[in-house]
Amino acid sequence: MNILVTGATGFIGTVLVDYLKKRNDRIRILLRPESDSGKASSMQVDICKARYDDPDSLRSAVRGTDIIIHLAGVTKSVDAKGFHDGNVLPVKKLLEAAGEVNPGLKRFVLVSSLAAAGPAGDPGTGVREEEEPQPVSIYGRSKLEAEKICQSFKDALPITIVRPPAVYGPGDRDVLQFLQLLKKGLVLSAGDVRTQRLSLVHVDDLVRGIVMASESPAGVGETFFITSPKGYSWDELLEAAVRELGVRHVRKISLPKPLMNFLGYVAGLIGKVSGNTGFLNPDKVKEMVQDYWVCSPDKAERQLGFTASVSLEQGMRDTIQWYKEKGWL
Ligand X SMILES: NC(=O)c1ccc[n+]([C@@H]2O[C@H](COP(=O)([O-])OP(=O)(O)OC[C@H]3O[C@@H](n4cnc5c(N)ncnc54)[C@H](OP(=O)(O)O)[C@@H]3O)[C@@H](O)[C@H]2O)c1
Residues 92/108, Cβ–Cβ less than 8 Å: no
How far apart CA 285 and CA 114 sit, in angstroms, is 16
Q: Is there binding between residue 111 and ligand X (CB under 6 A)?
A: yes
Query: For residues 6 and 296, which CB has a smaller minimum distance to ligand X in the complex?
Result: 6
Q: For residue 171, give the DSSP letter.
A: T
Residues 103/76, Cβ–Cβ less than 8 Å: no
Q: Is there binding between residue 7 and ligand X (CB under 6 A)?
A: yes
Q: What are phi and psi of 31, to 5 degrees?
A: -110, 120
Name which position in 47, 78, 83, 86 contacts ligand X (CB under 6 A).
86
Stretch that binds ligand X, among 163-171, 225-233, 281-289, 303-311 (CB under 6 A): 163-171
Q: Is there binding between residue 260 and ligand X (CB under 6 A)?
A: no
Residues 149/93, Cβ–Cβ less than 8 Å: no
Stretch that binds ligand X, among 68-76, 189-197, 209-217, 274-282 (CB under 6 A): 68-76
Residue closest to ligand X when measured from CB atoms: 10
Binding mask 17-56 for ligand X (x = CB under 6 A): ---------------x--x---------------------
| CB neighbour list of residue 42: distance below 8 Å, 6 or more residues apart | none
How far apart CA 12 and CA 265 sit, in angstroms, is 29
Stretch that binds ligand X, among 161-169, 181-189, 214-222, 314-322 (CB under 6 A): 161-169
Q: Is there binding between residue 113 and ligand X (CB under 6 A)?
A: yes
SS3 content of the chain, % helix, strand, coil (to 5): 45, 15, 35
Q: How far is the CB of 215 from ligand X (least distance, A)?
A: 19
Q: For residue 132, give the DSSP letter.
A: P
The pairing of beta strand 107-111 with beta strand 67-70: parallel
Q: Is there binding between residue 288 and ligand X (CB under 6 A)?
A: no
Name which position in 140, 164, 191, 282 contacts ligand X (CB under 6 A).
164
Q: Is there binding between residue 320 and ligand X (CB under 6 A)?
A: no
Residue 252 Rama label (left phi>0; alpha psi -120 to 50; beta)? beta
Stretch that binds ligand X, among 69-77, 96-104, 128-136, 251-259 (CB under 6 A): 69-77
Please report, as ranges, the residues that interact with ligand X according to CB under 6 A.
Answer: 6-13, 32, 35, 71-75, 85-86, 90, 111, 113, 164, 166-167
